[in-house]
Structure 1
Amino acid sequence: MRIEKDSLGSLPVPDDAYFGIQTVRCAQNYDVTDHTFNELPHVIKAVAEVKMAAALANEEIGALEPEKAKAIVQACQEIIDGKFADQFPVNIWRSHGTGVNMNVNEVIANRANEILTGKKGYDAVHPNTHVNMCQSSNDIYPAAEAIVLYRMIAKTLKSVKYFEDALAEKAKELKDVPRLGRTCMQDAVPMTFGQVFGAWHSLIARNRKRLENLLPEYQETILGATVLGSGMGELPGYNETVYKHLSKVVGFEMKQAKFAEEVIEDSALFDGSQNNDSFIYLMGVLKAIACAGGRIGNDLYVFSSGPRTGIGEIILPSIAPGSSIMPGKINPYMPELLLQIMQQIISHDMMATLTVNESDLDLCSSTCGSFLGAMESLELIDKGFRLVADRCIKGIKVNAEKARQNAEMSTSLATMVSALYGYPTGTKIAHQAWNEGKSCKEVALEEGLIPPKVAEELFDVRKLADRKATIEMFNKFKSLRKID
């Protein structure tokens, strides 16, 4: 063990550790779970990218010696490449970024010293003086959050689109398969399974576009605000230089947050330091996407119920046995997964709401739960929607015979009789069909209301699901219409 000192005293640090005393303190202070930033390499990568951009900017403005800047940049690149992956023991539940910022600062400093001197330590490069130059945890960590969320949103959008495309393909495949529509779980009028999947496709596409509209917000951040927004501690030229380097390092444009209608200079930086309401908007959209998926999952649950005693019109792919005791039972695992994703994301949305209101005065110090929740929500949608598309949506089959039979036997087909002969006549046909266990078509023919050739068209459930075909039929048979 080596002994390190800080403003609070001394502590032992493992000899082989690249982190230092402040990491040890933070790891001890927040030791409430076994989950550490070692599990979040994409967050550590983003922090290291910000550090690299800062070092390059500080070198450019002449604030950091080229030799030290080069060593810091090399150490950052090694972290970005995945080295030192076990050197971030700070718990995920920590103060507002200070713990993980100093953890990364110490790893970079020790590695930079090793590059320059052959040994760990802070003789040549200090974690605060050099690695954290012109920075504060209060602007570094939000910048890293923005980078992480931009990448995760972009990746999640691809998976949502993948799910959306699977629904579109299934809609086209089933466009001519009629079924009985149901409202309030009761018989309604005919439609097609293509229309069902088409509506789901529209639902997912609409919410995907809402998430796409949020993406540019994460290309703006408050890097350069330092502690509260005033930029105290920055050297001349840093703020004008750092974003150029950051954009190049991360591979997409990053820029400082601006408020076009500001009445006080740098209002966006003070605002961004104080408030994290962006998480409410992000989680609101993610909740909408998750609830859309949950709605689809619940409907698939019902459509596939049975197979003998439920609706049983949709046949889900069999991906695993459904019971340890009942042979042959198959459960709707993938629809269940959509529902569970929805439930978890709803809880993260509530966390985002709470954290917005539990910060105070000049710093939004409660973003931990919001950020962790947003990351897990994005990961759940990203992986979950793609999994459901591959293991469920693409393999769905329809029991077309049963679906058609259900549609043809529905008393709701008396709607056609009502349109031609009035509501009382339609009601009479519906009741008679129900009481005698017959179809409305059979009763209408028996009552002599409709000629047989006309009945074949008027009670064709596929045509009744088609808006244009229905209108054409009314035009064709308008002479039969007898309403007083």
Structure 2
Amino acid sequence: MTEITRVRIEHDLLGEREVPADVYWGVHTLRALENFPITGVPIAISPYLPQALAAVKEAAAEANHDLGLLDDERHAAIVQACQEIRRGELHDQFVVDVIQGGAGTSTNMNANEVIANRALEILGHPLGDYMRLHPNEQVNLSQSTNDVYPTAVKIAVINATHDLIAAMGDLQEAFAAKAVEFHDVLKMGRTQLQDAVPMTLGQEFGTYALMIAEDRTRLREAVMLLHEINLGATAIGTQLNAPNGYVPLARQHLSRITGLPLVTAVDLIEATQDCGSFVQMSGVLKRVAVKLSKICNDLRLLSSGPRAGLGEINLPARQAGSSIMPGKVNPVIPEVVNQVAFQIIGHDVTVSMAAESGQLQLNAFEPVICYSLSAGLYRLRTAITSLTENCVKGITANTEHLAMEVANSIGLVTALNPYLGYQTATELAKEALATGRGVAELVLEKGLLPQDELERILRPETLAHLGPKPADRSGGV
């Protein structure tokens, strides 16, 4: 026999619909599921947005209760439901697609329905008994999608960014630890893929640590712009249907709930239509992605070989590299980070176009902005964690090979310029290239410098202007 699915009847302005009896979402979410089968990715793919939506709804309930608009019983039930969602419960009920028409209305309705039905359950009433507690009348009281959704997106992005910054801190420390480990390992620096002048592998890895540190600072700067919110603006920023005193109360409660130093925009009409802070954040994420991808390009190049490439460093072997070539191991971790970076660069174009395409008092394309930022933040964080744990921490140096490269490189002649003069150094370089002999060997053979002075000139401290070895930071953050 066919199992009969229990349903409940809900209605909206378009008519009645059957909704599965045991779900917490309702008719508005049902229509969104039918209308937007776009990506197959629900808004709950990341916990940040459901938690942020619940925080906004809880703050609104608190403000409405303070103003006498929401009775004690329903206020307590709504707050409890929101707190459960913020703890990670009911996230499977946030089911609408991440990309949707309607400027986020479907996401807001999904949140209203889940919170209302859980509150009804807390009060001992059946799901869908909206005469007792309604998704729009009580949960959405004094609100509009147009102030709830961007506020929630900002909170979600802020929290996700903090986690990304922490992951980048781990990567920074991993590179810094390698800089200590490789402090005095001489190698040839390169410009335009040609031998340049000597440096140390520690200096090279120290540069990567600094690049990551700089981008952490840029992220902290960009994320501060997201703390300006338009909660209480309602539909277009005129605060229609928001009672006197609601705006500061809602912001105060939201700051307390989230622990974030949120501020209300000076002009709520401007804030409701402006996506500039999202564009700024997207641009900084692109910057992080571009620089991280460049670092991964370097790691792949430095580890190329093992016999016919540069072969200066060894990346940890993570998996077999070929179905046909035995023994081949590929730089799979840097490769996956490269691909994540490519996606984030594309997301930045999407955010730019979506922000530019807003019209008059509202931007209808914030859902794709939210998705692009959320996906970028999540993928960057997970990619960086993998790069840290599965690659950087296990890198080793081929010190003998590096020393041989330095000894055989004509780049040494640059260091000898002040002692021999440019013309003599040029002749040495030509002879070294023609004969395949080392520069130092030729200098000694021709008696151009005594051995002790040559050894002093070619010491790492002299060649690379190497400072004292920094403290060992391999023990962690």
TM class by shorter-chain length?
over 0.9
CA contact (8 A) 1:178 1:190 kept: yes
Is 1:133 aligned with 2:132?
A: no
Q: Percent identity, please.
A: 39
How many angstroms apart in 2 are the aligned matches of 1:336 and 1:40? 24
CA contact (8 A) 1:117 1:124 kept: no
CA contact (8 A) 2:98 2:368 kept: no
Residue 475 (structure 2) aligns with: none
Question: Could you tell me how far 1:73 is from its partner in structure 2?
Answer: 1.5
Question: Could you tell me how far 1:468 is from its partner in structure 2?
Answer: 7.6
Listed one character per residue, the Cα deviations across residues 464-483 of structure 1 (whole Å, up to 9, x for unaligned) are: 112689xxxxxxxxxxxxxx
Listed one character per residue, the Cα deviations across residues 202-232 of structure 1 (whole Å, up to 9, x for unaligned) are: 1111111111112322322110111111111
Is 1:110 aligned with 2:109?
A: no
CA contact (8 A) 1:134 1:234 kept: yes
Residue 224 (structure 1) aligns with: 232
Change (3 A) 1:291 1:133: same
CA contact (8 A) 1:417 1:425 kept: no
Change (3 A) 1:17 1:415: closer
Residue 379 (structure 2) aligns with: 380
User: Which residue, 21, 26, 33 being the options, matches 1:20?
Assistant: 26
Listed one character per residue, the Cα deviations across residues 259-315 of structure 1 (whole Å, up to 9, x for unaligned) are: xxxxxxxx2x22221121222211111111111211111111111111111110101
- Which ranges of 4 or more aligned residues in structure 1 deviate by more than 6 Å? none
Listed one character per residue, the Cα deviations across residues 11-59 of structure 1 (whole Å, up to 9, x for unaligned) are: 2222222222211112211122322224344312211111111111111
How many angstroms apart in 2 are the aligned matches of 1:147 and 1:105? 18
How many angstroms apart in 2 are the aligned matches of 1:368 and 1:141? 9
CA contact (8 A) 2:340 2:379 kept: yes
The aligned runs of 1:17-416 (5 Å cut-off) are 17-94=23-100, 95-120=102-127, 121-258=129-266, 267=267, 269-416=268-415
Residue 437 (structure 2) aligns with: 438
CA contact (8 A) 1:178 1:462 kept: no
CA contact (8 A) 1:63 1:235 kept: no
How many angstroms apart in 1 are the aligned matches of 2:234 and 2:262? 17
How many angstroms apart in 2 are the aligned matches of 1:39 and 1:198? 36
How many angstroms apart in 1 are the aligned matches of 2:285 and 2:399? 35
Bigger relative contact order, structure 1 or 2, given CA contacts below 8 A and separation 6+? 2
Change (3 A) 1:464 1:83: closer
Residue 474 (structure 2) aligns with: none
Change (3 A) 1:9 1:463: same
Residue 474 (structure 1) aligns with: none
How many angstroms apart in 2 are the aligned matches of 1:414 and 1:17? 75
Change (3 A) 1:439 1:34: same
Is 1:458 aligned with 2:454?
A: no
Tell me the SS of whatever aligns to 2:123.
Answer: helix
How many angstroms apart in 1 are the aligned matches of 2:278 and 2:63? 29
How many angstroms apart in 2 are the aligned matches of 1:210 and 1:42? 21
Question: Could you tell me how far 1:237 is from its partner in structure 2?
Answer: 2.0
Tell me the SS of whatever aligns to 1:341.
Answer: helix
Aligned length: 460
How does the TM-score come out when normalised to structure 1? 0.91
How many angstroms apart in 1 are the aligned matches of 2:381 and 2:60? 31
Listed one character per residue, the Cα deviations across residues 332-376 of structure 1 (whole Å, up to 9, x for unaligned) are: 112212211211111111111111111111101111222111111
CA contact (8 A) 1:190 1:462 kept: no
Change (3 A) 1:420 1:234: same
What is the one-letter code of the residue matched to 2:40? D
How many angstroms apart in 2 are the aligned matches of 1:273 and 1:232? 13
How many angstroms apart in 2 are the aligned matches of 1:175 and 1:436? 32
How many angstroms apart in 2 are the aligned matches of 1:386 and 1:337? 12
Question: Could you tell me how far 1:422 is from its partner in structure 2?
Answer: 2.3
Change (3 A) 1:222 1:420: same
Query: Where does structure 2 lack aligned partners over 5 or more consecutive residues?
Result: 1-6, 469-477
Question: Could you tell me how far 1:82 is from its partner in structure 2?
Answer: 3.3
Listed one character per residue, the Cα deviations across residues 137-180 of structure 1 (whole Å, up to 9, x for unaligned) are: 00001111111111111111111111011111110111110001
CA contact (8 A) 1:191 1:462 kept: no
What is the one-letter code of the residue matched to 2:8? R
Question: Could you tell me how far 1:461 is from its partner in structure 2?
Answer: 5.2
How does the TM-score come out when normalised to structure 2? 0.92
Tell me the SS of whatever aligns to 2:196.
Answer: strand
Root-mean-square deviation over aligned CA pairs: 1.7
How many angstroms apart in 2 are the aligned matches of 1:468 and 1:196? 14
Tell me the SS of whatever aligns to 1:343.
Answer: helix
After the TM superposition, which of the residue ranges 243-252 and 134-143 deviates more from structure 2? 243-252
CA contact (8 A) 2:48 2:159 kept: no
Tell me the SS of whatever aligns to 2:197.
Answer: strand
Tell me the SS of whatever aligns to 2:146.
Answer: helix
